[in-house]
Structure 1
């Protein structure tokens, strides 16, 4: 019988599993260690299995505990989502709303959407941050924002709801002064030749990509932490890299930047990446967040992002 099973017991189980000890789990939950131990013991009694092996210095998940941990996380996610929906149904305006946007997405589109939402809710304070790669995901996972505009599918999380809103075209380019800008030369180039030149690469401000690389083809790199720095270094002739079409179209038209028409970098040196509007399933979207969501959807549908 599982009638005595409580969300508090399940939340305690997940906290101890995540933190690696009863003491650390108690600290996260702001409870005394004895209360946490008691809750785990009661949960094990209700389930009829031992969740942790306590014979060592630290508790270790048993095979049964490891198998049930995924179910516990799913139950908490569903319960928190239900609570968030109930809060949304209860109404109430947000005093502050935070939005994090991937650096590959045109910021003017977001600015227009925020302006539109602010006109409807002038008492709400808006916060906007632009981050590359896993930064948008980390902000949502760590609950540092309500909405995020995410580019690409390199990271996934069951707590995050995604809504496709468009795509961004990225083009491999170099300065017209760079050796790779030679049209006759570029037609015969491949990855080995690109590796002889510096590639300008964005760094990830989050730990999500630790041990992974995304599109890094050259052993010679110059790493930057902003999209603007990447753009300026490529324009200066430091190296080559991918930049969003919306950011460099004028430079391409004027001949300041040259497209690397290399088949191994995509047709005509370009690739398309999907863009998503994202939020946490367990956090409510209040009236202001809903208004901003609609404004982003509306402005994205009318914006040519390349």
Structure 2
């Protein structure tokens, strides 16, 4: 009977499917392989179906196993969320609040929110890191932070709650000495193919979340860098063009060191706006300081905090 199913059986099923084998699943769960095999066999008996094809060197999900894997994940996520809420009742103040912020998001906004949080909870030590692309989300999923800020809609995970924080202006730029800057000064119409002929400076994802995917990479010739600071330095040196958040380059644009590429294909007057989010785990406890920081970030969005 299905009422006899246990959470342990479901966790074992999911662990084996994700780890790619009974031995790896047992190691992930820190259980004996025989116990893991017995749990899956019991689950299959309860459901009266085969979840894994064991005829090869590695177990492979059957069509029924593939169909039920997402159901098992959904059940476990709801249970973990319920447990987190129960643990959060009467939870004490955090000793430390680790936060990871997308490299595109304006740090002055984060600083204001952290200051307001610190005034309420001065004893909480804050640990702030800045990471591009999948970095903030992966830090949340790995338990390395309690709260994150991310920019863009390309990367998602069902275990995360994303609340909108407004938008971030992103502009394509080159050094004033670059050939594309001459085209801008001559008021020549810039088409996408004109820009893509030149080397593009691209920020690399330090995680595997975007493996096999590129975001806003338009040129066949690229130079990939690990930090936004390196990207800006290479653009200022005249090596190529790239897209950066307006808040980081506004001063250099105003004093003429950098030039914005007003190509309509890259957004109105060359400017696009990326949605920003405050993100946290739905199946983890969010303590008082993390909640306060989340509220402060959202309050700045409500007050018109787009950058």
Shorter-normalised TM-score: what interval?
Answer: over 0.9
Per-residue CA deviations over 1:206-257 (Å, capped at 9, x if unaligned) read 1111111111111222221111111222222221111111112222222222
Alpha-carbon spacing, 1:38–1:177, altered in 2? closer, same or farther (3 Å): same
How far off its partner does 1:203 sit? 0.8
Q: Secondary structure at the match of 1:3?
A: helix
- Is the aligned partner of 1:147 residue 2:173? no
SS in structure 2 of the partner of residue 150 of structure 1: strand
Give the corresponding residue for 2:217: 216
TM-superposed deviation, 1:124: 2.2
> Deviation digits for residues 121-145 of structure 1, max 9, x if unmatched?
2332221110011111211222211
Residue pairs, 1:229-244, within 5 angstroms: 229-244=230-245
Moved over 4 A (4+): 300-305
Show the counterpart of 1:33. Answer: 33
Identify the residue that residue 132 of structure 1 maps to in structure 2.
Answer: 132
C-alpha separation in 2, matches of 1:121 and 1:88: 18
TM-score (norm 2): 0.95
Q: Which runs of 5+ in 1 are unaligned?
A: none
8 Å CA contact 2:162, 2:277 repeated in 1: yes
- Correspondence 1:34-183 to 2 at 5 A: 34-182=34-182, 183=184
Who is 1:265 aligned against? 266
Q: Distance in 2 between matches of 1:84 and 1:239?
A: 48
Of 55-64 and 78-87, deviating more is: 55-64
* Alpha-carbon offset, residue 301 of structure 1: 4.2
Q: TM-score under structure 1 normalisation?
A: 0.95
Which sits farther off after the overlay, 296-305 or 38-47? Answer: 296-305
| Mapped contact 1:186–1:261 kept (Cα < 8 A) | no
1:207 aligned partner? 208
- 1: distance between equivalents of 2:157 and 2:187? 39
Counterpart-to-counterpart distance in 1, 2:302 and 2:105: 13
Report the equivalent of 1:290: 291
* Alignment-derived partner of residue 12 in structure 1: 12
Secondary structure of residue in 1 paired with 2:114? helix
Contact 2:166 2:305 in 1 (8 A): no
Judge conservation of contact 1:246–1:305 (CA < 8 Å) in 2.
no
Deviation of 1:180 after TM superposition, in Å, equals: 0.8
Structure 1 distance, partners of 2:302, 2:251, is 22
CA distance in 2: counterparts of 1:304 and 1:203, whole angstroms: 27
Q: Post-superposition shift, 1:186?
A: 5.6
Q: Go from structure 1 to structure 2 and tell me whether the alpha carbon gap of 1:44 and 1:241 turns closer, same or farther (over 3 Å shift).
A: same
**Number of equivalences:** 306
Q: Offset at 1:260?
A: 0.7
Give distance in 2, aligned partners of 1:303 and 1:267. Answer: 21
Distance in structure 2 (CA, Å) of the matches to 1:199 and 1:27? 43
Q: SS state of the match for residue 171, structure 1? A: strand
Q: CA deviation at 1:290?
A: 0.6
Query: Which residue matches 1:21?
Result: 21
Please list every run of 5 or more consecutive structure 2 residues that lacks an aligned counterpart in the other structure: none
- Secondary structure of the structure 1 residue equivalent to 2:145: coil
What whole-Å deviation, never above 9, does each CA across 1:164-200 have from its counterpart, x for those lacking one? 0110011111122211112355633322222222211
Kept in 2: contact 1:187–1:262 (CA 8 A): no
Q: How far apart, CA to CA, are the structure 1 residues paired with 2:63 and 2:222?
A: 44
